[in-house]
Copies of this chain bind each other. A is one copy, B any other.
């Protein structure tokens, strides 16, 4: 691996009040998804990042706003699907329009990361540093989040490493990948708390997850990464040379010319290997460092977990909108239609979501299988319009 460029700027130590630690820090927000887990509020045409139950603005707006003070809006890039570009630009008017990039089709995160890194390469050169972030998570402590990113981008700017922002686990979750932390990552340019990565573990069972959490050596793989352009491109060329060539040679030169870019994307994208950046790069590279992030991260993966972020009544119901409940407890009630009343009586542990054109009633447990229901609706010509 090549050494960090001597032109990489010095990073300040991370702190609660941080400024950009690297002069060319970019943020890339990956905003894919079909919204199935948040049906009927989420739709293919309005996926999870547009769900606006939390704090009165869509999740993707939270994702941008929480970067304030760390990355200026002009250096924030959103990668989404092409048909969501107009809605995304509308939701994020502070972004440069050409910084909302639409993929003609989803090719998983390796392709999206390659595209984003190529874009930052074109805008900021090979020594620019970028954070790969998510569009649809909640973070309770944005200052802590910024401090973690600042520290990680400092390390990645100075050292030739791929940075992984892990999440300090708060429960033995079985729905996430885990990352085992190894030896401290020491030496010049590192920072306290940074460790080598010992191994990646796919979604464990409950017992295994519990031992992971108890050990203190594991973090959740959040899908948030930090790297310098040149470091990622080198790893990409090594582990996925076809993908590297297709994106860096086939698409990168087209940035800056909308017509050319669209043509390049249309030509190249369908040929790209569909693989996650974890499988394609992170689990193979040896120059990985991880930091344990502890900033109240929640992926609000489905309705039951979303309930924790809504208001709640005395009976433990999570409630949004006009809801009248009697002898009902531990439910999630969401009603987004003005003037419509949602009334519940005697029910427990349900998820009830009412929107103007569809109403969902399911158990908390069944909410995890919402994709199946939604795909079933999608397959039915009579109801497909409620999903699309």
Contact = CB atoms under 8 A, between A and B. Distances in A.
Contacts of A356: 340
A357 B376 contact: no
Contact of A361 (B40, B344, B373): B344
Interface in A343-360: 343-347, 350, 352, 354, 356-360
A209 to B, nearest CB: 24
B362 A359 contact: no
Contacts of A39: 343
B373 A343 contact: yes
A211 interface: no
A202 interface: no
B366 A327 contact: yes
A383 interface: yes
A340 B359 contact: yes
A346 B326 contact: no
A322 B344 CA distance: 20
A60 B360 CA distance: 32
Contacts of A342: 358-359, 361
A319 to B, nearest CB: 13
A105 interface: no
A275 interface: no
Nearest to A39: B343
A308 interface: no
A369 interface: yes
Contacts of A370: 345
A340 B369 contact: no
A336 interface: no
A141 interface: no
Nearest to A366: B346
A372 interface: yes
Contacts of A40: 341, 343
Contacts of A268: none
A258 interface: no
A271 to B, nearest CB: 37
B376 A324 contact: yes
A341 B377 CA distance: 9
Nearest to A326: B373
A287 interface: no
B324 A377 contact: yes
A314 interface: no
B354 A359 contact: yes
Contact of A359 (B326, B343, B347, B365): B343
Contacts of A343: 39-40, 358-362, 373, 377
A297 interface: no
Interface string A18-42: 0000000000000000000001100
A369 B346 contact: yes
Q: Which 9 A-B pairs have the closest CB atoms?
A: A346-B366, A345-B362, A346-B363, A345-B366, A341-B358, A344-B361, A341-B386, A326-B373, A345-B373
8 contacts: A39-B343, A324-B377, A344-B360, A345-B363, A345-B369, A345-B373, A346-B365, A347-B366
Given A341-B377, A343-B373, A345-B362, 6 more contacts: A322-B382, A335-B359, A340-B357, A342-B358, A345-B367, A346-B363
